[in-house]
A and B are shown apart, each in its own frame.
Chain A
Amino acid sequence: MKKKENIFQLLTQKPWEPSQAKIDNEHDGATLALSKAKLGVRTIIAVSTVIFSLMIVGYADRMFVYDWRSMPDPWLLWVNTGVLIISSFFFYKTKVAADHKQLEKVKNGLLLIGFLAFTFLVGQLLVWQHLIKLGYYVSSNPANSYFYLFTAVHGLHLMGGLFFWGRTTTKFLKGNYNISKLQQAIELCATYWHFLLLVWLVLFGMMIAW
């Protein structure tokens, strides 16, 4: 009932007025029509966005200095990007399957997503190994420094996502879940996955462009 008011309407309420009190007495105590977990994921996404944005600001500041030499973009990086896109796509499919309670599809989807995500992480490590072999060390050029920083922080975020993916999947496989909680968990993981894909596309696009 109170969920449609915008922040300005909310902040201009006069809680001491009897007329407002009548309205307020009917309030159910929640500000947004969102579950706590969903709001939690959104908050985390907001915090992560700030982290990545600030690193991008640093990148943009640094790349105009004379010693900046862009990194090569090995083909494996394109493969990894593809893997991440596919895993995000399957998360979408899995979420839809979960919404329709197609449990067999959900099971296959979750396992495939996990496999793809681990493939991505291993792929990133292989890119690191490849570049180190070519002599692109983290400290040899600021472009390298930022490349390793971005990939590492993004990878850590994905590992955080995998932790929650793991909890959801084990609960699902063991069969001790309730369907609406499972649907919510899958939906939230999917949101986070899409967010990380978006972050990666921005970072990757920036790194190949400059």
Chain B
Amino acid sequence: MSDENEHKIEVKSDSTSADIGSVGTVPPIDSAPPRETADQELYHSKSFWTTWVFSQDAKWIGVQYACTAIAIGLVALVLSWGMRLQLGFPDTFSFLTPAAYYQFITMHGMIMVIYLLTALFLGGFGNILIPLMCGARDMAFPYVNMVSYWMYLLAVLVLLASFFVPGGPTGAGWTLYPPQAITAGTPGSSAGIALMLISLSLFVIGFTMGGLNYIITVLQSRTRGMTLMRLPLTVWGIFTATVLALLAFPALLVACIMMTLDNLLGTSYFMPTIVSMGETLSYEGGSPILFQHLFWFFGHPEVYIVALPAFGIVSDLISVHARKNIFGYRMMVWAIVGIGALSFFVWAHHMYVSGMHPWFGFFFATTTLIIAVPTAIKVYNWVLTLWKGNIHLTLPMLFALGFIVTFVNGGITGLFLGNVIVDVPLSDTYFVVAHFHMVMGIAPIMVIFGAIYHWFPLVTGRMLHQGMGKFHFWISFVGSYAIYFPMHYLGFIGVPRRYYEMYNSPYIPTSAEGLNAFITIAALIVGFAQIVFIYNIITSAIRGEKAEKNPWKANSLEWQTPEMPPKHGNFGKELPVVYRWAYDFSVPGADKDYIPQDVPPSEVSSAKVAKT
């Protein structure tokens, strides 16, 4: 199909005389501006090393990002098993000391949020999809893009190294609050935390290099006819998240640098006067609250750095697999931009119990609840897209549906916690754990799985195995409910989070113990089910069923490349020219139920696009 289009575009100028039948109509409606800019000069790799290792091809960098992120994510998964074993069956495993427990918590949280989710969505999907979806040959600065991945890998290795230093990795909790993060008594308070801070700084620097590419490619390197409002929502989500990340990660960097100095040079940016083990330390007058502000000024946008790409991707999955244009495209874009802007004004809702002034809390409760409006609009629009759609229950669609359910679930508990007076009693309980795992653990992971099942053929040219995929979906979806739903109840009865063990707390009913054991077993099962997923990926990449071109019959440009998987340079000799948005599904009058973005109007003259 698109070969034909390519051909059409190339010969467009002299096709007028050929199509005598439709003279007078074809050329004007198919008009495209002449190319003003020269084609991007690409780096053509010659050796094994520059092709597969130090690659400058965004698609391969994306694969590198994704594989690294998933690998480190599996480490975090195993760490969560350690925590669950301790909570479900206390006093059973001798290697689960209190110190180990806190180290597992910390590393699990940090890896999942930053090294897995952020890296996979922006580094992985961003690199693979942005140039293809925008109709570009590669990222704007391929060399910088390559360095970005290697910085990320270095950050991951430094993080892993902290497992092997004296004292082990930091056990300060993923928020790394001072003073305890660098005070004796906290696991890993010297070498562990130092490596963590260095690793985070490297991550931020590496990300900034990548982010520069994502932004500039989206803004400046699109193909002819591709306006911003014709972009698939995936690109909008990743683009906006990148803007957020570029503005939010500096806060983490500043916090990391200053805490490193507090730790290594004895400055007092964050460290107050403090007595540790009977001795007054040399610190004086620093403000731990300042760290909290810096951390959450990064930390809350971080939630949306993860969520916005998920929103964008899931919109496309739903639209493609329900064969319907996305309901309220413009509203979806506005919601993405609006959520992104608002996300910088809500950070202190993570600090309700830090002793803030009530009016300060009131302000942040208000802004927090306002974010629910654009978010709810998005949920309605997903549901309305499904409404009367031609829903194909493919694997990506299953995961997209799973996302909507878990996201609504986690979003609603977010409304509880956004209110100061409801948050104060709940803030240190498992209710919060259930909330954030539902909303930014399970929900984005559902999208990641859906996206992998969806774009796997694009990357490998092969389909993932259906049966294993269905097994993976149902175990993951039902299993994550089995894990996190009971935690809401644990939170309501007041079981505190972060505790190594409950011992014999009289206010906690014995049923909580049974529930904890149940959750642990569910977590083990869900974790093991991921082995099926990994096995599926590996075997399908090697000998999976060959995918036909554009297997999901999608409209966006990544599927319209001459070869699948796309070659170096993505598109053939000529870049595609875009004539429509990415959502012309089931257009009345059209021969097929989809019209790819690069199909000129003359080829689908019977379609009544206006009425979609």
B230 within 8 A of A: yes
Q: Which chain A residues lie closer than 8 Å to B612 at the CB level?
A: 16
Stretch at the interface among B44-52, B329-337, B560-568: B329-337
Chain A interface: which size bin? 35 or more
Q: Is the CB of A40 within 8 A of B216?
A: yes
Residue of B nearest to A138 (CB): B265
Q: Is the CB of A145 within 8 A of B268?
A: yes
A66 within 8 A of B: yes
* Given A51-B254, A138-B265, A139-B266, also A24-B610 (CB < 8 A): no
Q: Is the CB of B230 within 8 A of A32?
A: no
* Given A43-B212, A62-B269, A139-B268, also A24-B250 (CB < 8 A): no
Q: Is the CB of B33 within 8 A of A28?
A: yes
Stretch at the interface among A6-14, A88-96, A200-208: A6-14
Closest Cβ–Cβ distance, residue A68 to chain B (whole Å): 8
Of residues 132 through 155 on chain B, the ones whose CB sits less than 8 Å from some CB of chain A are 134-135, 140-141
Q: Which chain A residues lie closer than 8 Å to B294 at the CB level?
A: 54, 58
* Given A39-B216, A47-B208, A139-B267, also A67-B250 (CB < 8 A): no
Q: Mask for A29-61, Cβ within 8 A of B = 1, else 0? A: 111101010011001101110110011001001
Of residues 197 through 239 on chain B, the ones whose CB sits less than 8 Å from some CB of chain A are 208, 211-212, 215-216, 219-230
Q: Is the CB of B247 within 8 A of A58?
A: no
B308 within 8 A of A: no
* Given A29-B222, A31-B220, A32-B219, also A13-B227 (CB < 8 A): yes
Interface centre among B35, B230, B265, B297 (most CB of A within 10 A): B230
Q: Which chain B residues lie closer than 8 Å to A2 at the CB level?
A: 227
B258 within 8 A of A: yes
Q: Is the CB of A145 within 8 A of B267?
A: yes
B36 within 8 A of A: yes
Chain B interface: which size bin? 35 or more
B509 within 8 A of A: no
Q: Which chain A residues lie closer than 8 Å to B609 at the CB level?
A: 16, 18, 21
Of residues 389 through 411 on chain B, the ones whose CB sits less than 8 Å from some CB of chain A are none
Residue of A nearest to B224 (CB): A29
Q: Is the CB of B285 within 8 A of A142?
A: yes
Q: Which chain A residues lie closer than 8 Å to B223 at the CB level?
A: 29
Q: Is the CB of A28 within 8 A of B220?
A: no
Q: Is the CB of A145 within 8 A of B269?
A: yes
Q: Is the CB of A40 within 8 A of B225?
A: no
Contact of A40 among B33, B141, B337 (CB under 8 A): B141
Q: Is the interface of A mostly helix, strand, loop or mixed?
A: helix
Closest Cβ–Cβ distance, residue A195 to chain B (whole Å): 15
Of residues 63 through 84 on chain A, the ones whose CB sits less than 8 Å from some CB of chain B are 65-68
Closest Cβ–Cβ distance, residue A187 to chain B (whole Å): 17
Closest Cβ–Cβ distance, residue A35 to chain B (whole Å): 8
A98 vs B269: C-alpha distance when bound (angstroms): 45
Q: Is the CB of A46 within 8 A of B247?
A: yes
Q: Which chain A residues lie closer than 8 Å to B250 at the CB level?
A: 47-48, 50-51, 54
Closest Cβ–Cβ distance, residue B222 to chain A (whole Å): 4
A176 within 8 A of B: no
B419 within 8 A of A: no
Q: Is the CB of B269 within 8 A of A58?
A: yes
Q: Is the CB of B220 within 8 A of A32?
A: yes
B257 within 8 A of A: yes
A100 within 8 A of B: no
Q: Is the CB of B247 within 8 A of A21?
A: no
Q: Is the CB of A16 within 8 A of B220?
A: no
Residue of B nearest to A17 (CB): B610
A149 vs B265: C-alpha distance when bound (angstroms): 12
Q: Which chain A residues lie closer than 8 Å to B578 at the CB level?
A: 24-25
Closest Cβ–Cβ distance, residue B95 to chain A (whole Å): 38
Closest Cβ–Cβ distance, residue B15 to chain A (whole Å): 16
Q: Which chain B residues lie closer than 8 Å to A51 at the CB level?
A: 250, 253-254
Q: Is the CB of A31 within 8 A of B212?
A: no
Q: Is the CB of B220 within 8 A of A30?
A: yes
A15 within 8 A of B: yes
Q: Is the CB of B325 within 8 A of A67?
A: no
Of residues 361 through 386 on chain B, the ones whose CB sits less than 8 Å from some CB of chain A are none
Q: Which chain B residues lie closer than 8 Å to A126 at the CB level?
A: none
Q: Is the CB of B334 within 8 A of A11?
A: yes
A27 within 8 A of B: yes
Residue numbers of B with Cβ under 8 A of A are 31-33, 35-37, 134-135, 140-141, 208, 211-212, 215-216, 219-230, 246-247, 250-251, 253-254, 257-258, 261, 265-269, 282, 284-287, 290, 294, 297, 325, 329-330, 333-334, 337, 578-581, 583-584, 601, 609-610, 612
21 contacts between A and B (CB under 8 A): A10-B227, A15-B227, A15-B580, A16-B325, A16-B583, A18-B609, A24-B227, A26-B225, A27-B225, A27-B226, A31-B222, A43-B216, A51-B254, A58-B258, A61-B290, A62-B285, A62-B286, A67-B284, A67-B285, A142-B267, A142-B269
5 shortest interchain CB distances as A-B pairs:
A29-B222, A139-B266, A145-B267, A50-B250, A15-B581
Other than the given A51-B254, A67-B284, 18 more pairs (CB < 8 A) read A12-B330, A13-B229, A15-B230, A15-B581, A16-B610, A18-B610, A21-B601, A24-B227, A26-B31, A26-B33, A36-B140, A40-B212, A43-B212, A43-B216, A46-B246, A58-B254, A66-B285, A149-B261
